Homo-oligomer: A and B are copies of this chain.
Amino acid sequence: MSTKTLILALDLLGTFAFAVDGALTAIRTARVDIVGVLVLGLITAIGGGVIRDVLLGVTPATFQDWRYLTTALVGAGVAFFLSRQLTHLAKPILVFDAIGLSLFAVIGATKALAAGFGPLQAALLGMITGVGGGTIRDVLLNRVPTVFSANSHLYAVPALLGALLVAIPHTFGLTWGWIAVVGALVCFGVRILALLYRWSAPVPPGSPPL
């Protein structure tokens, strides 16, 4: 299996996990029908990439590619029919979700750098690719996006870290493929550790304790 095929397979795995997670969140949070479940799963899976491409000024790529659309719709469909059974698989879904987050962050930053954007923009776009879909889903479900909240266990921070690990070396001319691998692994590791040890990002001074 070539590197490109491996990245595509992992990327589709992440898309699937995001769609399942988005659809389950929709089912748990609101009275949605099958249209709501499918659309909210799809938006969770590809929304981050769409915002990234809008900010890059290009036609949204994951929306154009039927493999991402189909994977996301299948993931949301599985969640629709098996939502009760999937509640027992919350932990594996979180791991797949972390894989998706890592790949989306690194791929997003890489696309931004390839389009000629600077490292600050690339890091932000990597983070947005990772967290944007879930953010739109939360807005559509009428709740404050978990990514901004003080008990999200660093969802955005590892995405930003992974994207920075790709963007900063790039400004010094370092663009080897293994840098992206390190970025993705650091994002994945920090996210998993944050979940295990319930890490939180700092809150504003004077905020009431959790």
- Which parts of A48-93 form the interface with B (CB within 8 Å)? 50, 54-60, 63-64, 66, 69-70, 80-81, 83-84
Interface pair B204/A27, CB less than 8 Å apart: yes
Number of contacting residues on A, CB 8 A? 60
Contact with B along A198-210 (1 / 0, CB 8 A): 0011111111001
* Any B CB within 8 A of the CB of A139: yes
In the bound assembly, the distance between CA atoms of A56 and B202 in angstroms comes to 38
Find chain B residues with CB under 8 A from A69 CB: 120-121, 124
Interface pair B121/A66, CB less than 8 Å apart: yes
Interface pair A33/B148, CB less than 8 Å apart: yes
Interface pair B144/A142, CB less than 8 Å apart: yes
A residues touching B (Cβ–Cβ < 8 Å)?
Answer: 26-27, 30-37, 39-40, 50, 54-60, 63-64, 66, 69-70, 80-81, 83-84, 117-118, 120-121, 124, 135, 139-145, 147-152, 156-157, 160, 200-207, 210
In the bound assembly, the distance between CA atoms of A152 and B145 in angstroms comes to 24
Task: Count identical subunits in the complex.
Answer: 3
Residue of B nearest to A59 (CB): B57
Report which residue of A60, A120, A147, A148 has the largest number of chain B beta carbons within 10 angstroms of its beta carbon: A148
Interface pair A148/B39, CB less than 8 Å apart: yes
In the bound assembly, the distance between CA atoms of A200 and B210 in angstroms comes to 38
Interface pair B150/A206, CB less than 8 Å apart: no
Closest Cβ–Cβ distance, residue A132 to chain B (whole Å)? 11
Interface pair B140/A203, CB less than 8 Å apart: no
Find chain B residues with CB under 8 A from A26 CB: 148
